[in-house]
Structure 1
Amino acid sequence: MANPVERCVLVTGFDPFGGADVNPSWQAVQALHGQSILGHRIVGAQLPTVFVQSLQVLRDLLRRHRPTLVIATGQAAGRAAVSLERIAINVNDARIADNLGARPIDTPVIPGGPDGYFTKLPIKAMLKALLERGINGEVSQTAGTFVCNQVFYGLMHELASEPALRDTRGGLIHVPWLPEQGQPSMRLDELVDGLKVCIEVALTTERDIRKEAGAIS
């Protein structure tokens, strides 16, 4: 049996895309890489903002590290909060081209796969913890149809279909721009703290909380 100290949490971010010089998801993941949270080593990895290739890199990471928990992160311009994504859908429908110029329209992420997958993260408990720490958070009902959603769907498909990963939890979190990118935004230290909170909750919460009327959305 593996030593608990050797267990790991895989956290991924994307490289810059769309002409940007920075991607806050990768900046936050870099800051977390190598840290230890609740006896789990944080492995930070960058995914290319490229359809198809991003899933190949993700699959390699899953097989190499066999993580207890996987949190994929991505940038969501226009959002002001740490966005906890609820569902991944089996559709690629790119508004802009990826970093290799591909722009799939109305294609499946996984041909023949289910229409969608729900996150395995305790998103309501994570939201409650974020708000209690004074970090702006929200539950999001759409991860879009760009590479972030493709990775989210591909991750959930791997967790559902690969026996060696059946006990692994995973999902996607979108983060806002950094202040230097424009508004709305969130400071890098807030993003890092928010992801730490989410990791802690995911590692310690077996079953998600139910929404209390008027309490959280």
Structure 2
Amino acid sequence: MKVLVTGFEPWDKWDRNPSGEVAEELDGQSVCGAQVVSAVLPVVYGEDTRIVLPLIDNHRPNVVLSLGLGGSTCLNIERVAINLKQDDRPIVADGPAAYFATIPTRRICEAIQAAGVPARLSYHAGTFLCNHIMYSVLHHSYLDGRDPICGFIHVPPTPDLVGAEGGSSSSMSLQKIQEGVVLAIENLITQQK
């Protein structure tokens, strides 16, 4: 079995991005016997998919789990990706209005919470690149006729990132973020077996 995990590079005011750091840390590891392959994506429309879609085609993963930095206080397990960019244009012309994540979002959220990692369900991934990659991966999988389990988790900033901006928002340690992501992967792998 194979799992593709993606995260993003630093962007905007952030000099680090915990989503990319977790993806890098997991690259090459084995989780429940599944090989993890990871990629850190640029925060540029089109460049993200230029990298990730060939990875899906080449590696044929059973699970694709994308990560991105959000502003919440916990891990947000995203349920829906919409066919909309920030500039009101569709991600895919004539594509479906939305795709539901194919990961069991509620079960994953509950497993993460049961382990003591703050998590919640979220009902759409926004309109920036996190939504873009989630929608694009789900659309690609649909067109390809394959059935990998695809989903997205927004991760909160780490304490050092919050401290750099004056400490006005909540945070989570990188270790706790990674623990939650690994729990999600373990849950997905055991579902596949």
TM-score normalised per structure 1: 0.83
Q: CA deviation at 1:205?
A: 2.8
2:36 is paired with a residue whose SS is strand
- Secondary structure at 1:205's aligned position in 2? helix
Aligned match of 1:211: none
Match of 1:188 among 171, 174, 178: 174
**Matching residue's letter, 2:144:** E
Q: Which amino acid aligns with 1:158?
A: H
Match of residue 152 from structure 2 = 172
Alignment of 1:156-171 (within 5 A): 156-163=138-145, 166-171=146-151
Q: CA deviation at 1:44?
A: 1.3
Give, in angstroms, the shift of residue 26 of structure 1.
Answer: 0.6
CA deviations over 1:29-65 (Å, ceiling 9, x no partner): 1111111012111111111110011111111111111
Runs of 4+ in 1 over 3 A off after TM superposition: none
Match of 2:191 in 1: 205
Contact 2:7/2:67 (8 A) holds in 1: yes
Residue of 9, 33, 44 corresponding to 2:3 = 9
2:79 pairs with one of 81, 86, 91: 86
Give 1:167 shift: 2.5
Cα deviation for residue 136 of structure 1 reads 0.2
Q: 1: distance between equivalents of 2:149 and 2:104?
A: 9
Q: CA deviation at 1:142?
A: 1.8
Assess if the C-alpha contact under 8 Å between 2:2 and 2:34 holds in 1. yes
- TM-score between both structures, scaled by the size of structure 2: 0.93
Higher fraction of helix? 2
Match for residue 53 of structure 1?
47
Gap regions ≥5 residues in structure 2: 163-168
Asked if the contact 1:12–1:73 (Cα under 8 Å) also holds between the matched residues in 2, the reply is yes
State whether residues 34 and 189 of structure 2, in contact with CA within 8 Å, keep that contact through their aligned partners in structure 1: no
Q: How big is the shift at 1:84?
A: 0.3
Aligned residue runs from structure 1 range 101-112, under 5 A = 105-112=87-94
Q: Which runs of 5+ in 1 are unaligned?
A: 1-6, 94-104, 207-217
2:165 maps to what in 1? Answer: none
Q: Which has the larger radius of gyration?
A: 1
Same amino acid, percent of matched pairs: 35
